[in-house]
Structure 1
Amino acid sequence: MTKAGRENMLTQQAMGWNRKKTENLHKVLVHRYIKISERAKLEAASFSEFQQKNNLTEQTVQQWVCDVQQWAVTALVSTPGSTEDLRAEIESITVSLLRKKQDLYRQHDSNQTRQRKRKKIRDLKKKLREKILQYNSTEEDKIDEELACSLTEDYILPWERLEDGHSFRIKRSVFDKIMLLKRLEEEQSILVKEMSQHIKSLQKEIKGVEKRKKNIRMGNFGDMTEDAAEGWKSVLIRRSSALERLCQEAVNTYRAIVDDLQIQDSECRTDTDDDEYDLSSPESEEED
């Protein structure tokens, strides 16, 4: 294949990919929105069940979120080898083990990959046992080594026991669930904005085509002959029809799943006197 032929092939492939992306963008956005919405419903139901199980009110949840945020910005001053430093290491290893155990089968399909993850988990458990033995040798309130290393969810470390009967680990769990729900809601709002922006982009392109068609009707041919202008007019009509069809299809698809989608000019066809677009010659206009 010659260099010119290779460049032409790559150009055709890129144009085809861009055209396919443009035609399917509304389907991709809708698929993402539905997926995020379903995830948000599942997480909300899970959190509601968690609230009922632990008898948590909305006021308590908000207070716990504030407690975790305050804990995050509070600087912990500890010296190496001190009790506070040892507690922080035990907490860090425990959280890391819980995360790795949770993601062991969810994120890795390969048995070889899971074997490596299991080895890391065994190494972390060994390190956790060493830290627990070191802590128990200096403190009166001992840590149950077996329960702590088996990652029992109901087990509370001695310094995590609070006056209200709840552990700080539960508070962090509530905080994580709240932040997850907020992230899902934020992603939903971003997708709605992308949908609206997609429609506006199509409408803007339709206005440009309408502007060129209007120039043809007014006899502004530029450097073109009359026959060339008629051919150019046919191209514009075909392009306008395709854009209007795509725009209307996108509007109908978006409105089928989003009730509060703000879209101006739902007809997806506008005539404008904006000077943003000027009539150009066929050589300078990229054909589909």
Structure 2
Amino acid sequence: MLDGRTKHFGRSGKMCGDTFQKEFLEWTYRRFEIDKLCGSNLLHCPACSQEMHAIGVDGNRKQYRFRKASGVEKGFYDGVFLAKDDDVSSFVKHVHTKTNHALNMYRGEIYAYAMYLQKELSSAGTVGFFCCDVACKYWLYLQKVVQACPELEELLKMHPLLSVMHAKVHEWSCELKWGGRNHPGAGNTTREEVEQVNSFISRAAVTTKYMSKTVWTDIITLLAMGWNERKFANMDHMLAKRYVKNVKRLKEETSLLEEKQAELDINDTVLQEWVAEVQQWHEGTVCNSHLAIKRAIFDRLMLVNRLQEEERILGQEMKRHWGSLQRAAGTLEALSQQLQDQSNAVELSEGGREEWLSLPPEEKIE
């Protein structure tokens, strides 16, 4: 493909793929450093980075082939998006040492990876909810680890949630306790956003599975930042669209709930009694009768409550996004003023500018 583009643009000679790849990664890393100097970070969401409503942890692929990789040099983006292997290994070793290996090592090691990500993500700002496909099992593990590692106690301040798709395949008692639809303040997010990113990154697996660990790390980081860049560029339209859809759906679901109440001939007081009965059933007290009907009305009421919360959450995210745009505009104005002041300080006369332009390139650099 590279040779074809060389001929298409009228150039001659053969282009080395390895050299081209290295130069491309160097160029992208320089752009990354320039963006950092300008106050731009594609790994921090402008709408929720400081006060994150929820974070999610999920796996994609197990890289068994990297176990045998020896003498691997560091990539340009080492530790930027993907965590450093040494940091993860030391954390897992620390947890296993503190717990005296009282846990199932196979299962415990996997949960320790999720706990490492939870710890790192929570350090960036306040987090309300923690989403995981097996939150019902992971949270019990975390509680045991915190008893041996009190420094991780802050992680328990989050509220654990099951992702929507996986909650449906758990027992209903488990879904009722851990499902996000039934937790006050959770909103109406799907909690499957990590799956969306993994699906996008996995498209490159046909190529990345042949790469070395160093290049693989850099390419995966570039793909993640590319995903975020497109998301940031469309953030205003996306938030506005989600808000409009949420308001429309809230009206529809509220109307359906009222119709269901009229059909069953129950008022708000009876409705709250049914909700309490369903919650007591989860705690061990079985409802007297009509459990299926009470569950249906319970689910519909929970959906209406979550949609009301989602409206408030979206309003906060739009406000934070607007604030990030104002800060970016202020940073851009300050940089422009700085460049203008520097250009005024070295401003040349007309004759001096013509003399400078007539110099050979090597003397200009000097």
TM-score, normalised to structure 2's length?
0.33
Give the greater-gyration-radius structure (CA). Answer: 1
Q: Which has the higher contact order (CA 8 A, sep 6+)?
A: 1
Q: TM-score, normalised to structure 1's length?
A: 0.40
Higher strand share: 2
